[in-house]
Structure 1
């Protein structure tokens, strides 16, 4: 009888967890949502990092060219999810092959329990990265939902929020300890 009651309670708890996880935060655009459901703005990410820089890590998953030529957070480790190749696809999009070593490179740099704040340009690629890392066992990763450049304004320019627009420190200077090296 006790075993059956325990089994019923476990099934009910699992069903409850599943139902709760299916209610995604509707204020976060779908492409920026993650399996872990942890989100932070660039402004808040920098404020939190400033309080405990030894326990929070900032990771930038944009291409090495974006990291170098658009700028990056001064403390951000660059581990790209994709690389950019010359040319365009038939849909006029950049050719972006996946970094096959992405998870392995992150595992080599960080512990699965480390607190990571992950950014890309505007929050979509970082969500994809977090989902890959969650499958690999990482548990404490936040998506910087407005990314490095931020969201677009009504004229299509990336001037709304984002690391670069928030007053957080950024640079073009490359630190060999932070730059991705194949």
Structure 2
């Protein structure tokens, strides 16, 4: 009887350890550049499902540049408020010139309430993480990073075909709705 109880106890401990290890590994599976201070993460597929289940209570924010939103496509319900703007040319390091949107938090506060459920998307999940950290510092608490973004992560050939909104089966469009498109006014 004691051996049986000991076996059951050891088996229970092993299962608890396995569950804890699995939970920790799934948290650390998110790359550092996609992690946020709020620690709320969702895939594009899950984000669309969440939106479908409660469209009136779920907001989708696209923080890519206006050009990305317009020419690459976007989720049809996504509000575009760019975290950064794209300027013509390259800087001395041969990188894109992308100055920050100085009115980003003001624009967010005009559009959303602090307790709204906001799902934030960029191209692949890194800019949206930086955006969420800014939003959280302004008092927003229920903000999720769509960790695979609109275009998704790169495959072995460097193409963004692995996941993301456009590869998840969620709807996307090039059509523009004036109330969703960023306007600096």
TM-score band by shorter chain is 0.7 to 0.9
Using a 3 Å threshold, how does the CA distance of structure 1 residues 145 and 154 change in structure 2: closer, same or farther? same
Given the alignment of the two structures, is residue 73 of structure 1 paired with residue 84 of structure 2, yes or no?
no
Residue number in structure 2 paired with 1:89:
91
Larger radius of gyration: 2
Q: CA deviation at 1:25?
A: 2.6
Of residues 27, 30, 39 in structure 2, which corresponds to 1:28? Answer: 30
Aligned length: 160
Query: 1 or 2, which has the higher helix percentage?
Result: 2
Residue number in structure 1 paired with 2:176:
174
Residue number in structure 2 paired with 1:55:
57
The structure 1 segments of at least 4 consecutive aligned residues displaced by more than 4 Å after TM superposition are none
1:10-57 deviation per Cα after TM superposition (whole angstroms, max 9, x unaligned) = xxxxxxxxxxxxx99311000000000000000000011001000000
Q: CA RMSD in A?
A: 1.2
TM-score (norm 2): 0.85
* Cα distance in 2, alignment partners of residues 99 and 158 from structure 1: 26
TM-score (norm 1): 0.86
* Cα distance in 2, alignment partners of residues 50 and 170 from structure 1: 14
- Match of 1:170, SS state, is coil
* Cα distance in 2, alignment partners of residues 45 and 113 from structure 1: 17
Q: What pairs up with 1:1-182 in 2 under 5 angstroms?
A: 25-182=27-184
* Cα distance in 2, alignment partners of residues 60 and 142 from structure 1: 12
- Judge conservation of contact 1:24–1:33 (CA < 8 Å) in 2: no
